[in-house]
């Protein structure tokens, strides 16, 4: 065997596993997916002191070897050697929170009983000491019978000792077979009692601590102050997305503009130049401009998650979610869906109840994901005046916020109806561990942001670039006869398809340009922006040479049409990735097809109502 040894990080949720993983592997890690199960696979390389490379994987957090959700099942299957997706690890690093030994040692005992070489990382010892808890690692080592290394992942303390212990653990040779029955035979209550005995034995001294955490919680969980704080945080988050992103977005925009000009200067007018500038750069550039906004949104979500606040938010939201038959747990995937429904839908795997989970998946696409923002920003920027209507409040922002709220209201109504019809079932419970408050570590947040940026840019470089080029081809050929006066877009194949779609969407106020944009926007919503950009770049009949999409929209669209278009995008399930991830998560085509059907129906009806109300209101 030449493959490097495989070591798995295992532990309870909130044990600081991911921080330890980041500290051990640094930037040398990759995020993938276990095929078919949509559980993210985090793997990285670690070099031992003697130069041997080790492959390290970070398994999803679990409470025991009896899985109650899909991600816990992956953990169980990998450590018991039952996984068809991962080889049996050569050793386990069991990560335990030093301040919560009572609970975390139970799972540790189960894992040790499996018989694989185990090293225990007694993590976050600094926080335990801050809480007035002093532990004796030697006692733990004696009681557990495996090496115990005190670590502080976020300060990189104890990593050398951990690496050395790992070197011993994987150097033992002779692959062992896990003894699954030994790991699962003991009654959970017995194990829990044994864990408490060991924890008590290892505790040198203990004083009451965590006063400051209680003080934070007495505000964050307060019946009145808590919800006010939550709304304030969400408001700041969405405000920041728009104000902070302006400067970098303008810089990216200018960069692509410069690139277009440079190509126009370097190449003669013709097929290649048009393909590069009107097709590829106009299309991909229109999307990449939104990278800053997306990263700012993910920055907030990562901070809320790693600080421990996210579960408090779930706690506050539980009562509201219960009114539609969901639990506070569903709030976390739904908030992530504001960045992108794909990780949002994947995050539903922590929801134990099947019906609950399905409902959350079905409504997740109604959260205003970042792919809609290019569309909203473009149309709002072009058609809505940015008048100041109160201090710090401008009309464009209000419309944006309104679209967000309509999405949430739509999701609320959808959940209410779904829970009484297709996903009917007993109301599920809400039981969640609330992690300690922690100052998020910049390095961990940056790694998370980097991973999101790579995923986004890959999308822009593949799906979005490809659909944009195909659209450009469809819109460019065939050329209208010389001097016929027909617009090149109308004469092209794409233009004719667009006219066909126009018959269907005309009743809700959509024009030819929108009809043309809808089809490629099935690949990803933001393609609508690049598609409209491409249409106007090719259809530059007035010879003004202006490539500014906003000016073109202002000249060609009416306000009712623009509003109907915005409403359409609140509901329409125009995202192949979301449909694909739903198929994977629900194991079949039934639910994704249902989702697409009900969302398109809602989009058509709501856009129609908006259009005709606006027309009658004389807008």
Partner 1 sequence: MDMSRTVVPAPQTALDLVSLPRRQPATVAGIDWARLAVPEARRLRELGFDEGVAVEVLHRASLGSGPIACRIGRMTVALRRAVAGAVHVAPAVAAE
Query: Site residues (CB under 8 A) for partner 1?
Result: 63-64, 66, 68, 99-103, 106, 133, 188-189, 192-193, 196, 214, 217-218, 221-223, 226, 311, 314-316, 318-319, 322, 328, 352, 429-434
End-to-end CA distance of the chain: 73
Tokens (6 digits) for 520: 């490629």
Output the smallest distance, CB 146 to partner 1, in A.
22
Q: Report the run of H or E that residue 29 belongs to, with start and end.
A: strand 29-33
Minimum distance from residue 320 beta carbon to partner 1 (Å):
9
Tell me the sheet residues that pair with 8. Answer: 57, 92
The residue (of 219 and 232) whose beta carbon lies closer to partner 1 is: 219
CB of 109 to partner 1, least distance (A): 13
Quick one: how far is CA 481 from the chain centroid? 49
In angstroms, give the least distance from the CB of 429 to partner 1: 5
> Is the distance from CB of 149 to CB of 158 less than 8 angstroms?
yes
Residue 1 or 431 having the CB closest to partner 1: 431
Nearer to partner 1, 194 or 556 (CB): 194
Q: Give the rounded distance of the alpha carbon of 468 from its chain centre.
A: 25
Q: Between 3 and 189, whose beta carbon lies closer to partner 1?
A: 189
Q: Which is nearer to partner 1, 99 or 572 (CB)?
A: 99
Closest C-alpha to 286, from 309, 259, 266: 259
Smallest separation, CB 318 to partner 1 (Å): 5
Q: Which is nearer to partner 1, 146 or 311 (CB)?
A: 311
User: How far apart are CB 425 and partner 1 at their closest, in Å?
Assistant: 12
Q: Residue 195 CB, nearest distance to partner 1 (Å)?
A: 9
Question: Radius of gyration (Cα) for the chain, nearest Å?
Answer: 27
What gap in Å lies between CA 278 and CA 533, rounded to an integer?
8
Residue 252, classified by CB atoms within 10 Å of its CB into exposed (0-12), middle (13-18) or buried (19+), is middle
How buried is 223 (Cβ within 10 angstroms: 0-12 exposed, 13-18 middle, 19+ buried)? exposed
- Looking up tokens 């209208």, which residue turns up? 480
Q: Tokens standing for 532?
A: 């409209």
CB of 370 to partner 1, least distance (A): 29
Q: Judged by CB, which is closer to partner 1: 429, or 555?
A: 429
SS3 of residue 495 by DSSP: helix
**Beta strand pairing call for 40-47 and 53-58:** antiparallel
Are 328 and 314 in contact by the 8 Å Cβ rule? The answer is yes
Output the smallest distance, CB 129 to partner 1, in A: 14
41 in helix, strand or coil? strand
How many CA atoms, within 13 angstroms, populate the side-chain half-sphere of residue 332?
A: 23
Residues 6+ apart with CB under 8 A from 301: 335, 336, 338, 339
Which candidate, 110, 115, 108, 123, places its Cα nearest to that of 169? Answer: 115
- Kindly state the smallest distance separating residue 104's Cβ from partner 1, in Å: 9
Nearer to partner 1, 85 or 434 (CB): 434
**Residue whose CB is less far from partner 1, 57 or 101:** 101
- Least distance from C-beta 102 to partner 1, angstroms? 4
The 3-state DSSP class for residue 262 equals: helix
Asked if the bond preceding 478 is cis, omega within 30° of 0, the reply is yes
Output 316 or 380, the one with its CB closest to partner 1: 316
**CA separation for the pair 110, 557 (Å, rounded):** 65
The total number of residues shown for the chain amounts to 619
Residue (of 528, 539, 594) closest to 566 by Cα position: 528
Closest CA to 347 of 362, 358, 334: 334
Q: Shortest distance, CB of residue 154 to partner 1, whole angstroms? A: 20
Structure tokens given for 156: 């990189």
Closer Cβ to partner 1, 334 or 606, answer by number: 334
Work out the angle at residue 47's Cα, subtended by the Cα atoms of residues 41 and 49, and round it to the nearest 5 degrees: 145
**With respect to partner 1, which residue has the nearer C-beta, 63 or 309?**
63
Under 8 Å CB-to-CB from 143, ≥6 apart: which residues? 198, 201, 202
The two tokens of residue 402 are 């309104």
Please give the structure tokens belonging to residue 82. 């039952």
Cβ 134 to partner 1 shortest distance, Å: 14
Q: Which is closer to partner 1, CB of 426 or CB of 617? A: 426
The token pair that represents 330 in the structure block? 């569903």
In the complex with partner 1, the residue whose CB is nearer, 177 or 218, is 218
CB of residue 226 to partner 1, shortest distance in Å: 7
């Amino acid at each position: 065997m030449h493959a490097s040894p495989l070591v798995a990080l295992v532990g309870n949720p909130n044990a600081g596993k991911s921080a330890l993983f980041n500290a051990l592997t640094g930037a040398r890690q990759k995020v993938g997916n276990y095929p078919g199960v949509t559980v993210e696979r985090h793997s990285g390389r670690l070099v031992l002191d003697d130069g041997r490379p080790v492959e390290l994987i970070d398994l999803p957090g679990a409470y025991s070897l009896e899985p109650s959700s899909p991600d816990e099942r992956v953990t169980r299957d990998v450590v018991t050697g039952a996984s068809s997706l991962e080889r049996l690890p050569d050793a386990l690093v069991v990560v335990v929170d030093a301040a919560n030994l009572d609970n975390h040692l139970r799972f540790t005992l189960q894992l040790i009983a499996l018989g694989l070489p185990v090293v225990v990382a007694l993590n976050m010892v600094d926080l335990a000491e801050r809480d007035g808890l002093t532990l004796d690692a030697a006692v733990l080592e004696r009681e557990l019978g495996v090496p115990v290394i005190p670590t502080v992942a976020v300060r990189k303390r104890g990593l050398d000792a951990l690496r050395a212990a790992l070197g011993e653990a994987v150097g033992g040779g002779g692959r062992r077979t896990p003894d699954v029955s030994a790991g699962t035979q003991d009654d959970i209550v017995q194990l829990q009692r044994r864990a408490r005995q060991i924890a008590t034995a290892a505790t040198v001294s203990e004083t009451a601590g965590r006063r400051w955490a209680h003080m934070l919680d007495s505000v964050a969980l307060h019946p009145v102050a808590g919800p006010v704080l939550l709304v304030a945080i969400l408001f700041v988050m969405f405000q920041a997305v728009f104000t902070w992103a302006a400067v970098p977005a303008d810089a990216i925009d200018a960069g692509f503009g410069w690139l277009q000009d440079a190509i126009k200067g370097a190449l003669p007018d013709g097929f290649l130049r048009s393909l590069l500038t009107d097709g590829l750069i106009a299309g991909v550039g229109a999307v990449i401009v939104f990278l800053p906004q997306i990263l700012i949104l993910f920055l907030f979500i990562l901070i809320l998650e790693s600080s421990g606040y996210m579960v408090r938010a779930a706690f506050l939201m539980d009562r509201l979610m219960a009114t539609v038959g969901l639990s506070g747990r569903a709030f976390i995937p739904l908030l992530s869906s504001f960045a992108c429904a794909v990780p949002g839908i994947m995050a539903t795997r922590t929801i134990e109840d099947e019906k609950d989970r399905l409902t959350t998946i079905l409504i997740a696409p109604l959260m205003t994901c970042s792919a809609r923002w290019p569309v909203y920003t473009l149309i709002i920027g072009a058609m809505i005046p940015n008048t100041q209507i109160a201090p710090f409040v401008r009309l464009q922002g209000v419309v944006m916020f309104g679209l967000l709220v309509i999405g949430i209201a739509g999701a609320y109504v959808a959940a209410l109806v779904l829970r009484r019809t297709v996903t009917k079932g007993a109301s599920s419970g809400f039981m969640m561990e609330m992690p300690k408050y922690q100052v998020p570590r910049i390095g961990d947040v940056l790694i998370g942001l980097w991973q999101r940026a790579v995923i986004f840019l890959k999308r822009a470089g593949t799906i979005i670039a490809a659909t944009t080029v195909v659209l450009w081809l469809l819109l460019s050929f065939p050329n209208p006869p010389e001097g016929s006066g027909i617009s090149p877009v109308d004469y092209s194949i794409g233009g004719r398809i667009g006219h066909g779609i126009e018959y269907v969407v005309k009743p809700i106020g959509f024009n030819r340009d929108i009809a043309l944009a809808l089809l490629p926007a099935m690949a990803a919503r933001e393609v609508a922006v690049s598609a409209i950009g491409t249409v106007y770049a090719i259809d530059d009949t007035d010879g003004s040479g202006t490539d500014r999409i906003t000016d073109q929209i202002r000249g060609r669209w009416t306000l009712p049409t623009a509003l109907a278009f915005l409403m359409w995008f609140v509901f329409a399930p125009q995202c192949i990735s979301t449909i694909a991830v739903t198929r994977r998560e629900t194991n079949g085509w039934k639910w994704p097809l249902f989702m697409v059907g009900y969302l398109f129906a809602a989009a058509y009806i709501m856009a129609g109502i908006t259009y005709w109300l606006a027309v009658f209101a004389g807008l």
